[in-house]
Amino acid sequence: MARLAFAAALLLVAQLACAQDAPERVAAGTVSLVEGDVRFLDARLQGRRPKQGDAIYEGEGVVTGADGEVHLDMQDGGYIGVRPGTRLNIVNFKAEGGQDDSFVLSLLEGSFRAVTGWITRSSGRRAEVQTPTVTIGIRGTDYEPLVIPEGSKAGEAGTYNRVNIGETEMRTAQGSVVVRPNQAGFVPHRGALAPRLLDRMPAVFKPTRNEKRFEGLHLRIHQNLEQRRQQRIQQIEQRRQQRAKAASAGSMRFQDAQQRERQREAQKAALRAQKQVEERRRLQQEHERAAKKDGREERKKRRAEKHE
């Protein structure tokens, strides 16, 4: 039983250690609105139907059908509205309130509109949207990237990028262009070409039934952005302390289990030693009794011989 208890303690500590070592799933944002056909896909392409309040994690993808739309409150205080007919991947997303916060989104098809949070405040190299034809660096912006695949009747195939507030930079190996408010940039799907600004806003950008959510949103987000960043820093620090406390508690439980096992082994060793002493004493007593008996028998025999 003692060994079973010790083994159980070891198993518990091993499970705690695995939990500590296992990479924590990083939540990139939470669902604030979902309508129609929307699926989240994990790294194994296992799908789930999100509902309001659900998290979307780093490494997951969003797929919306012809009537699907999902809006996400991002961990850095930003906001993303994923439009119908879209495939979007959250490649990575780190929003802990530090200088190394960053995100990379991969837009394969369709469109979204986003108001950025604190990650984009200092450098467009820390926040990027990658598409099949271009990389878009984001700088404190309300922007709308759109990807039209080849064969689509929606318009010329390629990547479009509209800016409402702030600016973005569209980059390819052939060059780059900065897109400012009320401008749109474009890179075609075919040919290795530099991005270019369009003469007029193309008709491919179509608002959804929930577009009013973005009215005044940039101002509202940025009024409270520093407060949200500080709250996030505190939240991350609390999690780290909790993990450290759990690891320390697991280590103490392991040490206690070791100490109890050592005590049990010492008790067993003492009991074995006591039994050995008692066995030697018993054997010695038996030997003495046998010797006395032999002596009596020998004396009795000599007396008998003497009488004869």
**Domain limits for position 79:** 25-223
Tally of structural domains, the chain: 1
Residue 257: the pLDDT is 77
Residue 297: the pLDDT is 77
Residue 5: the pLDDT is 47
Residue 84: the pLDDT is 98
Residue 105: the pLDDT is 98
The answer to whether residue 58 is domain-embedded is: yes
The answer to whether residue 307 is domain-embedded is: no
CATH code for the domain in which residue 60 is found: 2.60.120.1440
The answer to whether residue 296 is domain-embedded is: no
Residue 218: the pLDDT is 94
Residue 19: the pLDDT is 44
The answer to whether residue 267 is domain-embedded is: no
The answer to whether residue 288 is domain-embedded is: no
The answer to whether residue 17 is domain-embedded is: no
Residue 245: the pLDDT is 78
Q: How many CA atoms lie within 13 A of 266 on its CB side?
A: 6
Listing DSSP states for the chain in one string gives -HHHHHHHHHHHHHHHHHHHHSPPP-EEEEEEEEESSEEEE-TT--EE---TT-EEETT-EEEE-TT-EEEEEETTS-EEEEPSS-EEEEEEEE-SSSTT-EEEEEEEEEEEEEE--GGGSS-TTSEEEE-SS-EEEEEEEEEEEEEE-TT-SSSSSEEEEEEEEEEEEEEETTEEEEE-TTEEEEEESSS----EE-SS--TT----TTGGGGTTHHHHHHHSHHHHHHHHHHHHHHHHHHHHHHHHHHHHHHHHHHHHHHHHHHHHHHHHHHHHHHHHHHHHHHHHHHHHHHHHHHHHHHHHHHH-
The answer to whether residue 6 is domain-embedded is: no
pTM above the 0.85 mark? Answer: no
Query: Which segments in the chain show pLDDT lower than 70?
Result: 1-23, 121-125, 250, 252, 308
Residue 261: the pLDDT is 82
